Chain A
Amino acid sequence: MISLRVPAPSSFNLQRFNSGALERRWKLGRDCFLSFTPNRIGLGVRSTKSEMAPFTAAEEETLPEGLQPELMPKHVAVIMDGNGRWAKNQGLQPWDGHRAGVEALREIVELCGKWGIQVLTVFAFSTDNWIRPKIEIDFLLSLFERTLKSELETLAKNNVRISIIGDSSKLPKSLLKVINEVEEVTKNNTRLQLIVAVGYSGKYDVLQACRGIAQRVKDGEIDVEEIDEILIEQELETNVTEFPYPDLLIRTSGELRVSNFLLWQLAYTELFFAQEMWPDFGRNGFVEALMSFQQRQRRFGGRKS
């Protein structure tokens, strides 16, 4: 959420107010809601790494200064927003932005594995994104397929488990085949679970859970009165993991909304909105988000007396 520390009337400075009133970024104290680093000025796409560097035991223990290992979130969710705008700002095509986005994702997956985060959920493609031009959709899905194929070996080596959630009915058959293969090959990995949401939205997830429950009621397996929160949780697609509720949700590109990504699961999730575009987010942005998370007091409706 954007933190609006509105100045008290007595400290109002007209000159400062006038110079860039609405463009002003509010630098925050304890809680970093707006994290921004100046856009890295670069020509072209960032250098492509064709492989993730394997996680080493030595690196696993070295958290950046300021982060405490016992306060690391178990489950981090990310809305990787801003690839298109990043590309436009660089004078590139949208697909260059998506490719740069994949690089950025590689970096974050690596960091999660090293820093002991157990689940990382990323919002790759929403049910709302189907309205984009067909050429962009085709590119995105084929990029996804290619990335899965090329990364499979590295992910398996690094003990990463991949799960795909979302409405698979509209996805091309070749992609479905690759998805099944990747899920099968990595299903016993334990270090990090990477959940990729494709053709997914929070409302869709609740709807399909509702249908699943309705079927069970129809089959006589459960009674309508027995429907409760635990039952719905079991039917949601995030039941592929032991920790379906993200502790931290990060959204890049400055948009202050959740956009129907994960709904039920975000009930108590700490939200962090980063100003930079996804390809620019990287390690620095991630550290800032984690530091903000670690400083928050989570009470879940109760009281910390």
Chain B
Amino acid sequence: MGGEVRQLLEQIHRFSRRCLFRVLSMGPLPTHLAFIMDGNRRYAKKRGLEDGSGHKAGFSTLMSMLQYCYELGIKYVTIYAFSIDNFRRKPEEVQSLMDLMLEKIKSLLDEESIVHEYGIRVYFIGNLGLLNDQVRAAAEEVMKATAKNSRVVLLVCVAYNSTDEIVQAVKRSCVDKADRDVERIQLVDIEENMQMSVAPEPDILIRSSGETRLSNFLLWQTGNSQLFSLDALWPEIGLRHLVWAILNFQRSHSYLEKRKKQL
């Protein structure tokens, strides 16, 4: 009985969400949304849960947010899963995060996973050589398995730093243009060597937990992105935050389009 009620409620939610999204789609929608999923550990502490459960709660929030984004019709979503700076944390925490990531990356290959439901192409962006072999292998497997998907895209930044991405792009540009005049190196040469070049620049960057900084995430790509800092911790983030961000985006959109056309 409980299960049926739950199913019914879920269907009602889905229906009302679809109506809401239809209304939102009357206005301009972002093509690319980026998330800094901050505040998982603080959430666990706040709720008096054990360490590690904050990240698990964060993962299920992530799945919900991806579902909303793809239902709304946003084509690209980028998430900051693990920074190169995060390797400096306590080894136990790093290890538990790696274990969680391995488990979740593998689950993306399941039949019932969100990847199959929405036809997601998954990219893992970052210095993957810094990951342990198992995680790296799993990531590569997912990238290969989803390479043919084209409906929507998920970019997972893991072992990532924007400055590291730029260093790699500069290295490759130097190699590519080694035999030519250095003055011929243009912005496009660096840009095409950036790992994130598989997606357009984010329209919106959302960071949870109230911090107002980029933390070395997508520095190159977010020059013109609208930046939102939400006070809520990542596991507390929900549909209402997404809707609010999109409304704000729509509000400033016409002014921005005018500026963009000028450029």
What residues make up the interface of A, taking CB atoms closer than 8 Å to B?
1-6, 22, 30-31, 33, 128, 131, 202-203, 206-207, 209-211, 213-215, 217-218, 224-225, 227-229, 232, 256-260, 263-264, 266-273, 296-298, 300-303
Q: Mark B173-190, 1 if CB is under 8 A from A, else 0.
A: 111011000110111001
Q: Find out whether the CB atom of B219 lies under 8 angstroms from the CB atom of A264.
A: yes
Q: Find out whether the CB atom of A263 lies under 8 angstroms from the CB atom of B215.
A: no
Q: Find out whether the CB atom of A232 lies under 8 angstroms from the CB atom of B262.
A: no
Q: Find out whether the CB atom of A22 lies under 8 angstroms from the CB atom of B190.
A: no
What residues make up the interface of B, taking CB atoms closer than 8 Å to A?
41, 83-86, 88-90, 93, 161-164, 166-167, 170-171, 173-175, 177-178, 182-183, 185-187, 190, 207, 210-216, 219-220, 222-232, 240-241, 244-245, 247-248, 251-252, 262-263
Given A218-B178, A266-B214, A271-B213, is A232 in contact with B229 using a C-beta cutoff of 8 Å?
no
- The residue that A257 contacts in the complex, of B164, B167, B173, B225, with Cβ under 8 A, is B225
- The residue that A217 contacts in the complex, of B174, B207, B229, B252, with Cβ under 8 A, is B174
- The residue that A301 contacts in the complex, of B93, B210, B215, with Cβ under 8 A, is B215
Q: Find out whether the CB atom of B222 lies under 8 angstroms from the CB atom of A258.
A: yes
Write 29 A-B pairs (CB below 8 A) sorted by A numbering.
A1-B212, A1-B228, A2-B229, A4-B228, A6-B241, A22-B248, A22-B251, A31-B210, A31-B229, A33-B212, A207-B186, A207-B187, A214-B173, A218-B178, A224-B171, A224-B174, A227-B171, A232-B166, A257-B223, A258-B223, A263-B219, A267-B161, A267-B162, A268-B215, A270-B213, A296-B211, A301-B84, A301-B216, A302-B86
- The residue that A5 contacts in the complex, of B161, B213, B214, B231, with Cβ under 8 A, is B231
- The residue that B223 contacts in the complex, of A6, A131, A203, A296, with Cβ under 8 A, is A203
Which residues of A lie under 8 Å from residue B207 when comparing CB positions?
Answer: 1
